[in-house]
Amino acid sequence: MIFAVWLPLVMPLLAVPTARRLAASLPPRAAAWLLAGCAAALAACTAAALGLLTVAGALRLPPVAAFGHLERALPGGDAVVAVPAAPVAGALLACCAFAVARRALRHRAELRAARRAADAHGLAGDLCVLPEAAPDAYALPGRPGRVVVTAGMLRALPPAEREALFAHERAHLAGRHHLFLLAAELAAVCHPLLRELRSPLAYALERWADESAAARVGDRQVTARAIGRAALAARTHAAAPRPSAAPAATTGPVPRRVAALLGSDRAADRPRGRSLPGGRRLIAAALLACVTFSAAGAVDAAADLHQTVETAQGEQPGR
């Protein structure tokens, strides 16, 4: 077990750069699912590995084994490593659990505060207009979801570009993009290397919404102008705080997004049914191998620990 259990902790070293490389060559929607799924899977494997290290090391101590109703402490020649690693792994796991709970509660509180602020103003369908002069707009998730825009942003855009901006934010709501961002935030507190997936995920989500807005309004140039003008207006004024997990068209590398909309749209229309080019196939295979090894390491370590516990209880494995 002591060897397999380390795989989930070290695999992000290879998986994270591989996932970023593969996502850069995929359409935005596929890239977002890939990055969020990879982050969640690697974070779950990390938490499982820390838990297994904690339990395995603790049960090798006679007092803990007796408390767990074992006839004797867990056998094995890896106690020299497992016992010292247990308190470290336990402390890290506790820190991860605390950070995840704190981040989830903060996310909930931010959304509730933003919805209370939106409820204080008039609604026009799913559109909420705030009287602030600072230009801002974002997608506020909930039931129902709302597009929040300030009076300053409405004054900064002509009517056609307003519709493109609204379509962008509605695409965030329809795709439930805040859950992608939240998953990446929670995964990042479980393993520091997973923080490197947040930026490309945020970019993929914005590109996903950009393409949805362009398809909705039927004009890529209008959509590009709306995003560029909105971002320029927002950056010239200090906007009021918004929920950190509320997607907004004015965030991320806006010039790169505008260039993607104004350039060839082949990236958005890649055929999904055809086979991937050879290079992407190899990258995808490498990423799949990393995630598989990570999960397999956790499963193998759990099975080995279970068998060892049965032995310590005086039972024969499989009985």
Six-digit token string for 227: 């995003």
Which pLDDT score is estimated for 89? 87
- Could you tell me which of 75, 56, 1 has the C-alpha nearest to residue 312? 75
Kindly indicate the confidence band of residue 187, based on its pLDDT and cuts at 50, 70 and 90. Answer: very high
Q: Please compute the mean of the pLDDT values over residues 213-226 and round it to a whole number.
A: 93
The 10s digit of each residue's pLDDT in 37-51 is 999 999 999 999 999
Which pLDDT score is estimated for 318? 46
- Could you tell me which of 89, 11, 50, 3 has the C-alpha nearest to residue 294? 11
C-alpha distances in Å from residue 80, one per residue of 43, 67, 155, 201: 27, 21, 68, 41
Kindly indicate the confidence band of residue 87, based on its pLDDT and cuts at 50, 70 and 90. Answer: confident
As a whole number of angstroms, the distance between CA 82 and CA 22 comes to 36
With a pLDDT cut of 70, the percent of the chain lying above it is 81
- Please count the CA atoms within 13 angstroms of the CA of 301 that sit on its side-chain side: 29
pLDDT(62) > 60: no
The 10s digit of each residue's pLDDT in 281-297 is 899 999 999 999 999 98
Kindly indicate the confidence band of residue 274, based on its pLDDT and cuts at 50, 70 and 90. Answer: very low
The 10s digit of each residue's pLDDT in 225-236 is 999 999 888 887
- Please count the CA atoms within 13 angstroms of the CA of 228 that sit on its side-chain side: 14
As a whole number of angstroms, the distance between CA 198 and CA 182 comes to 10
The 10s digit of each residue's pLDDT in 123-134 is 677 888 888 888
pLDDT(160) > 80: yes
- Give residue limits of the domains in the chain: 4-312
